[in-house]
Structure 1
Amino acid sequence: MQVLQVQLEIRPDPAEVGRARRWARSRLAGSGIAVDEPLAETLVLLVSELVTNAVVHTGRPAVLRLSLPGVEAEDAAVRLEVADSSERVPVPRCVGGEATGGRGLALVDGLADRWGWSREGAGKRIWCELDRCAERAEPAGSEAPCPDAVYEGLAYEAV
């Protein structure tokens, strides 16, 4: 199986979050992931959350890495990693309804199939994976091979 591994250097500047999202979208086509499919949208949201955390909470440069399986690997996982030089451990927070931040890792936990972190030298690497399912036409009434994502425990409100 061929895997495309790409990386982007991130400066400790909030403007880098938008640049990281644009960069991630531009890398999806070569792996057979259409920019408008749910996997791509979820991946870009996860890029946004993890890069935001690195920029806001460390104030140091970081590296964004994507591992994108080729078109032939329809069932492989897409992996996203953000490495930084801060020793600060990522901790999911419980925030009140009026808080304007603090939900990033809860979103990662709810959207990714797997996530975690590890020490890397003087810093750390936070990673998450999204399982990639082949879209196949299924007969009516049969269970889909890749069910729609279920976001248990998350509430959404349209304002």
Structure 2
Amino acid sequence: MSQGHPYISHLTLADTPNAVPWARRHSADILRRWQVPGAVIETANLIVSELTTNAVRHPAGNEPQSTGYSSLSAVSTFTLTLQLTGTALLIQVADRDPQPPVRREVGVEATGGRGLFLVSEMSNRWGHYPASPGKVVWAELLLQGPGRSGLVHVEQPVERAESASATGPISDPFLIGRVLVGLREL
């Protein structure tokens, strides 16, 4: 891996249900090629899953959610960007929805709504910024070190980025395990 020039990959996908597994496959393939450590690839795939799922489930504010292949004329796209520098991996998903992402507090028995919670817990820092059209949601993973630093926002990877608010540790230690098992069953 070159220290001087970052590695960058862009993938544009339709906001159809099969976009999420394609994004995960692409990410794993690219990150293996870039010789990223296996543990970082697994975490990156979880984050890619959550961010691309949000892009598919929440298309531009006035557009209906895509339900499959029957209405291809209503399908829009989003872009997944992976950027690797000497010390970190930046994951960005640009979609057409201008609404900022909302991190929800959900109950233990809820079957959804934990995506941004997982992104904030698994990444070193994350945030979003407006783009035309829509927004970009990003997350950063450190390539080395003891893991999540606990920093949600020190500086922005992009000038206009906005940070999410900091939260405490995961209250349910089995939550991430259940999510990972669920992802593997997809």
Q: TM-score range by the shorter chain?
A: 0.7 to 0.9
The one-letter code of the counterpart of 1:29 is: R
SS at 2:49's partner residue? Answer: helix
- Specify every segment of 5 or more residues in structure 1 that has no aligned partner in the other structure, as ranges: 134-145
2:130 to 108, 119, 139: 119
1:1-159 paired onto structure 2 within 5 Å = 1-34=4-37, 37-58=38-59, 59=65, 60-69=76-85, 73=86, 76-133=87-144, 146-149=145-148, 152-155=169-172, 156=174
The one-letter code of the counterpart of 2:51 is: L
In structure 2, C-alpha distance between the alignment counterparts of 1:100 and 1:87, rounded to whole Å:
25
In structure 1, C-alpha distance between the alignment counterparts of 2:171 and 2:79, rounded to whole Å:
29
CA contact (8 A) 1:86 1:122 kept: yes
Offset at 1:122? Answer: 2.8
SS at 1:48's partner residue? Answer: helix
CA contact (8 A) 2:11 2:79 kept: yes
| Number of matched pairs | 140
What percent of counterpart residues are identical? Answer: 36
In structure 2, C-alpha distance between the alignment counterparts of 1:23 and 1:93, rounded to whole Å:
28
CA RMSD of aligned residues (A): 1.9
SS at 1:94's partner residue? Answer: coil
Could you say if the C-alpha distance between residues 149 and 85 of structure 1 is closer, same or farther in structure 2, counting changes exceeding 3 Å? closer
Could you say if the C-alpha distance between residues 122 and 149 of structure 1 is closer, same or farther in structure 2, counting changes exceeding 3 Å? closer
Residue equivalent to 2:70: none
In structure 2, C-alpha distance between the alignment counterparts of 1:55 and 1:83, rounded to whole Å:
11
In structure 2, C-alpha distance between the alignment counterparts of 1:24 and 1:122, rounded to whole Å:
24
SS at 2:8's partner residue? Answer: strand
TM-score (norm 1): 0.80
CA contact (8 A) 1:110 1:154 kept: no
Runs (4+) off by over 4 Å = 148-151
In structure 1, C-alpha distance between the alignment counterparts of 2:149 and 2:132, rounded to whole Å:
36
